[in-house]
Structure 1
Amino acid sequence: MLVVGIGARPGVRKSELDQAVDLALAAVSRHRDEVAAVATLDRRAASLREFAEDNGWELLVFTAGELAEEDVPRPSGTVLARAGTPSVAEAAALRAGTKLIAAKRVFPRVTVAIADRVPA
Protein backbone atom coordinates (compact mmCIF):
# COMPACT_ATOMS: atom_id res chain seq x y z
CA MET A 1 0.00 0.00 0.00
CA LEU A 2 1.03 3.59 -0.57
CA VAL A 3 0.76 6.86 1.27
CA VAL A 4 0.58 10.12 -0.68
CA GLY A 5 2.11 13.14 1.00
CA ILE A 6 0.50 16.39 -0.08
CA GLY A 7 1.44 19.99 0.37
CA ALA A 8 -1.18 22.38 -0.94
CA ARG A 9 -1.87 26.08 -1.17
CA PRO A 10 -4.98 27.42 0.56
CA GLY A 11 -8.09 27.08 -1.58
CA VAL A 12 -6.74 24.30 -3.79
CA ARG A 13 -9.51 22.65 -5.81
CA LYS A 14 -10.30 18.93 -5.80
CA SER A 15 -9.62 18.79 -9.54
CA GLU A 16 -6.09 20.10 -8.93
CA LEU A 17 -5.52 17.46 -6.25
CA ASP A 18 -6.88 14.70 -8.48
CA GLN A 19 -4.67 15.69 -11.39
CA ALA A 20 -1.51 16.08 -9.29
CA VAL A 21 -1.97 12.73 -7.53
CA ASP A 22 -2.78 10.93 -10.79
CA LEU A 23 0.32 12.34 -12.50
CA ALA A 24 2.58 11.54 -9.55
CA LEU A 25 1.28 7.97 -9.37
CA ALA A 26 1.59 7.47 -13.13
CA ALA A 27 5.22 8.66 -13.02
CA VAL A 28 6.07 5.63 -10.84
CA SER A 29 3.66 3.25 -12.60
CA ARG A 30 1.33 3.06 -9.62
CA HIS A 31 -2.45 3.46 -9.33
CA ARG A 32 -5.07 4.98 -7.02
CA ASP A 33 -6.21 1.54 -5.87
CA GLU A 34 -2.78 1.08 -4.24
CA VAL A 35 -3.17 4.19 -2.07
CA ALA A 36 -4.14 3.69 1.58
CA ALA A 37 -3.70 7.19 2.94
CA VAL A 38 -3.05 10.86 2.35
CA ALA A 39 -0.67 12.63 4.73
CA THR A 40 -0.27 16.37 5.21
CA LEU A 41 0.42 19.29 7.50
CA ASP A 42 -2.22 19.84 10.18
CA ARG A 43 -3.01 23.31 8.82
CA ARG A 44 -4.08 21.74 5.49
CA ALA A 45 -6.19 18.92 6.91
CA ALA A 46 -9.53 20.68 6.43
CA SER A 47 -8.88 21.27 2.72
CA LEU A 48 -7.85 17.63 2.17
CA ARG A 49 -10.45 15.86 4.31
CA GLU A 50 -13.13 15.65 1.61
CA PHE A 51 -10.56 14.66 -1.02
CA ALA A 52 -9.35 11.77 1.15
CA GLU A 53 -12.88 10.68 2.06
CA ASP A 54 -14.06 10.77 -1.57
CA ASN A 55 -11.22 8.40 -2.47
CA GLY A 56 -11.71 6.11 0.52
CA TRP A 57 -8.28 7.00 1.87
CA GLU A 58 -7.28 7.60 5.48
CA LEU A 59 -6.20 11.19 6.25
CA LEU A 60 -3.05 11.40 8.38
CA VAL A 61 -2.16 14.78 9.86
CA PHE A 62 1.14 15.96 11.32
CA THR A 63 2.38 19.14 12.96
CA ALA A 64 5.15 21.24 11.44
CA GLY A 65 7.41 20.05 14.25
CA GLU A 66 6.75 16.40 13.46
CA LEU A 67 7.40 16.96 9.75
CA ALA A 68 10.60 18.90 10.48
CA GLU A 69 12.02 15.78 12.17
CA GLU A 70 11.99 13.86 8.87
CA ASP A 71 15.19 13.71 6.81
CA VAL A 72 14.00 14.59 3.30
CA PRO A 73 15.93 14.58 0.02
CA ARG A 74 14.74 18.02 -1.13
CA PRO A 75 14.17 20.48 1.73
CA SER A 76 12.93 23.94 0.80
CA GLY A 77 13.70 27.25 2.44
CA THR A 78 10.51 28.68 0.97
CA VAL A 79 8.40 25.93 2.53
CA LEU A 80 10.24 26.39 5.82
CA ALA A 81 9.38 30.10 5.83
CA ARG A 82 5.72 29.48 4.97
CA ALA A 83 4.95 26.29 6.87
CA GLY A 84 7.51 26.06 9.65
CA THR A 85 9.03 22.86 8.24
CA PRO A 86 11.47 22.41 5.32
CA SER A 87 9.13 19.88 3.71
CA VAL A 88 5.45 19.00 3.72
CA ALA A 89 4.81 16.46 0.94
CA GLU A 90 7.99 14.38 1.30
CA ALA A 91 8.09 14.66 5.09
CA ALA A 92 4.41 13.69 5.44
CA ALA A 93 4.83 10.73 3.08
CA LEU A 94 7.88 9.53 5.00
CA ARG A 95 6.30 10.12 8.42
CA ALA A 96 3.32 7.96 7.45
CA GLY A 97 5.20 5.51 5.25
CA THR A 98 8.43 3.59 5.26
CA LYS A 99 10.35 4.48 2.11
CA LEU A 100 9.97 7.28 -0.42
CA ILE A 101 9.28 5.83 -3.87
CA ALA A 102 8.54 9.15 -5.57
CA ALA A 103 10.27 12.36 -4.57
CA LYS A 104 8.15 15.47 -4.52
CA ARG A 105 6.58 16.64 -7.76
CA VAL A 106 5.68 20.30 -7.71
CA PHE A 107 2.55 21.47 -9.49
CA PRO A 108 1.21 25.05 -9.51
CA ARG A 109 -0.73 24.76 -6.20
CA VAL A 110 0.00 21.20 -5.06
CA THR A 111 3.11 19.21 -4.22
CA VAL A 112 2.93 15.41 -4.09
CA ALA A 113 5.34 12.73 -2.84
CA ILE A 114 4.69 9.00 -2.49
CA ALA A 115 5.96 6.44 0.02
CA ASP A 116 5.45 2.73 0.57
CA ARG A 117 3.42 1.94 3.67
CA VAL A 118 3.60 -1.26 5.64
CA PRO A 119 0.11 -2.30 6.81
CA ALA A 120 -0.41 -2.15 10.58
Structure 2
Amino acid sequence: MVGVGARSGAPAVEVLALVGAVLAEAGVPPDRVRALATVTAKGREPGLLRAAEALGVPLETYAAEHLAAVPVPHPSARVRAAAGTPSVAEAAALAGGGVLLVPKRASRGPDGGPGRVTCAVAAQAD
Protein backbone atom coordinates (compact mmCIF):
# COMPACT_ATOMS: atom_id res chain seq x y z
CA MET A 1 0.00 0.00 0.00
CA VAL A 2 1.33 3.43 -0.92
CA GLY A 3 0.14 6.30 1.24
CA VAL A 4 0.23 9.72 -0.36
CA GLY A 5 -0.29 13.20 0.99
CA ALA A 6 -0.45 16.17 -1.36
CA ARG A 7 -1.05 19.87 -1.36
CA SER A 8 -3.85 21.03 -3.62
CA GLY A 9 -2.79 21.17 -7.24
CA ALA A 10 0.15 18.78 -6.91
CA PRO A 11 0.70 17.37 -10.42
CA ALA A 12 0.64 13.67 -11.23
CA VAL A 13 4.22 13.85 -12.48
CA GLU A 14 5.41 14.92 -9.01
CA VAL A 15 3.32 12.21 -7.34
CA LEU A 16 4.60 9.52 -9.72
CA ALA A 17 8.24 10.61 -9.35
CA LEU A 18 8.10 10.38 -5.57
CA VAL A 19 6.10 7.13 -5.57
CA GLY A 20 8.66 5.61 -7.96
CA ALA A 21 11.58 6.70 -5.78
CA VAL A 22 9.97 5.40 -2.59
CA LEU A 23 9.03 2.08 -4.19
CA ALA A 24 12.63 1.70 -5.39
CA GLU A 25 13.87 2.45 -1.87
CA ALA A 26 11.52 -0.23 -0.52
CA GLY A 27 12.56 -2.71 -3.20
CA VAL A 28 8.94 -3.03 -4.31
CA PRO A 29 8.19 -3.20 -8.03
CA PRO A 30 5.35 -0.91 -9.17
CA ASP A 31 3.25 -3.89 -10.27
CA ARG A 32 3.02 -4.99 -6.61
CA VAL A 33 1.20 -1.82 -5.55
CA ARG A 34 -2.37 -2.61 -4.52
CA ALA A 35 -3.56 1.01 -4.22
CA LEU A 36 -2.64 4.60 -3.57
CA ALA A 37 -4.27 5.77 -0.35
CA THR A 38 -4.92 9.22 1.05
CA VAL A 39 -7.24 11.24 3.25
CA THR A 40 -10.82 11.66 2.01
CA ALA A 41 -10.39 15.41 1.54
CA LYS A 42 -7.78 14.72 -1.17
CA GLY A 43 -9.72 11.97 -2.93
CA ARG A 44 -10.69 14.19 -5.86
CA GLU A 45 -7.26 15.75 -6.42
CA PRO A 46 -6.52 15.43 -10.16
CA GLY A 47 -2.82 14.71 -9.60
CA LEU A 48 -3.57 11.82 -7.24
CA LEU A 49 -6.29 10.41 -9.48
CA ARG A 50 -4.05 10.58 -12.55
CA ALA A 51 -1.15 8.97 -10.67
CA ALA A 52 -3.35 6.10 -9.52
CA GLU A 53 -4.63 5.66 -13.07
CA ALA A 54 -1.08 5.65 -14.46
CA LEU A 55 -0.16 2.93 -11.95
CA GLY A 56 -3.32 0.98 -12.77
CA VAL A 57 -4.54 0.99 -9.16
CA PRO A 58 -7.45 2.56 -7.30
CA LEU A 59 -7.15 5.66 -5.14
CA GLU A 60 -8.48 4.62 -1.75
CA THR A 61 -9.50 7.26 0.76
CA TYR A 62 -9.84 7.25 4.52
CA ALA A 63 -11.58 9.72 6.80
CA ALA A 64 -9.23 11.99 8.73
CA GLU A 65 -10.62 10.54 11.98
CA HIS A 66 -9.67 7.03 10.86
CA LEU A 67 -6.14 8.10 9.90
CA ALA A 68 -5.73 10.00 13.18
CA ALA A 69 -6.23 6.71 15.05
CA VAL A 70 -3.39 4.95 13.18
CA PRO A 71 -0.09 5.04 15.13
CA VAL A 72 2.72 6.50 13.00
CA PRO A 73 6.41 7.19 13.63
CA HIS A 74 6.39 10.79 12.33
CA PRO A 75 3.23 12.67 13.35
CA SER A 76 3.06 16.35 12.44
CA ALA A 77 1.20 19.16 14.18
CA ARG A 78 1.23 21.09 10.88
CA VAL A 79 -0.43 18.20 9.04
CA ARG A 80 -2.97 17.84 11.87
CA ALA A 81 -3.89 21.52 11.52
CA ALA A 82 -4.26 21.24 7.74
CA ALA A 83 -5.79 17.78 7.35
CA GLY A 84 -7.38 16.90 10.69
CA THR A 85 -4.95 14.02 11.23
CA PRO A 86 -1.29 14.07 12.35
CA SER A 87 -0.33 11.92 9.34
CA VAL A 88 -1.63 11.33 5.85
CA ALA A 89 1.07 9.39 3.96
CA GLU A 90 2.19 7.05 6.76
CA ALA A 91 -1.28 6.58 8.25
CA ALA A 92 -2.85 5.92 4.83
CA ALA A 93 -0.13 3.37 4.02
CA LEU A 94 -0.77 1.62 7.33
CA ALA A 95 -4.57 2.00 7.45
CA GLY A 96 -5.20 -1.53 6.23
CA GLY A 97 -2.69 -3.09 8.61
CA GLY A 98 0.81 -4.22 7.81
CA VAL A 99 4.26 -2.87 8.46
CA LEU A 100 5.89 0.34 7.28
CA LEU A 101 8.66 -0.37 4.76
CA VAL A 102 9.57 3.25 4.00
CA PRO A 103 8.47 6.08 6.29
CA LYS A 104 7.25 9.41 4.98
CA ARG A 105 9.38 10.96 2.27
CA ALA A 106 8.76 14.36 0.70
CA SER A 107 9.15 15.45 -2.89
CA ARG A 108 11.35 18.32 -3.98
CA GLY A 109 10.01 21.28 -5.87
CA PRO A 110 11.36 22.30 -9.28
CA ASP A 111 13.63 24.86 -7.58
CA GLY A 112 15.03 22.22 -5.20
CA GLY A 113 12.92 23.51 -2.30
CA PRO A 114 10.05 21.70 -0.61
CA GLY A 115 7.68 19.87 -2.90
CA ARG A 116 3.95 19.29 -2.66
CA VAL A 117 3.80 15.52 -2.11
CA THR A 118 4.60 13.05 0.68
CA CYS A 119 4.68 9.29 0.33
CA ALA A 120 5.15 6.19 2.49
CA VAL A 121 5.01 2.46 1.71
CA ALA A 122 3.69 -0.37 3.86
CA ALA A 123 3.58 -4.10 3.23
CA GLN A 124 0.19 -5.52 4.01
CA ALA A 125 -0.13 -8.61 6.15
CA ASP A 126 -1.23 -11.67 4.17
TM-score, length of structure 2 as denominator length: 0.87
Q: How far apart are residue 44 of structure 1 and its match?
A: 0.7
Q: Give 2:34's aligned amino acid.
A: A
- Taking the aligned partners of 1:17 and 1:67, their CA distance within structure 2 comes to 20
Match of 2:55 in 1: 55
Match of 1:85 in 2: 85
Name structure 1 gaps, 5 residues minimum: none
Q: Secondary structure at the match of 2:104?
A: strand
Q: How far apart are residue 31 of structure 1 and its match?
A: 1.7
RMSD (CA atoms): 1.2
- Taking the aligned partners of 2:18 and 2:75, their CA distance within structure 1 comes to 20
List 4+ stretches of structure 1 deviating above 6 A. none
- Taking the aligned partners of 1:97 and 1:9, their CA distance within structure 2 comes to 25
Decide whether the 8 Å contact of 2:105 with 2:118 is kept in 1.
yes
- Taking the aligned partners of 2:59 and 2:28, their CA distance within structure 1 comes to 19
Decide whether the 8 Å contact of 2:26 with 2:121 is kept in 1.
no
- Taking the aligned partners of 1:61 and 1:54, their CA distance within structure 2 comes to 17
Pick one of 16, 39, 42 that aligns with 1:41: 39
- Taking the aligned partners of 1:66 and 1:99, their CA distance within structure 2 comes to 17
Match of 2:110 in 1: none
Q: How far apart are residue 70 of structure 1 and its match?
A: 0.4
Name structure 2 gaps, 5 residues minimum: 108-114
Percent of pairs with identical residues: 43
Match of 1:114 in 2: 121
- Taking the aligned partners of 1:54 and 1:93, their CA distance within structure 2 comes to 19
Pick one of 28, 31, 50 that aligns with 1:30: 28
Q: How far apart are residue 99 of structure 1 and its match?
A: 1.1
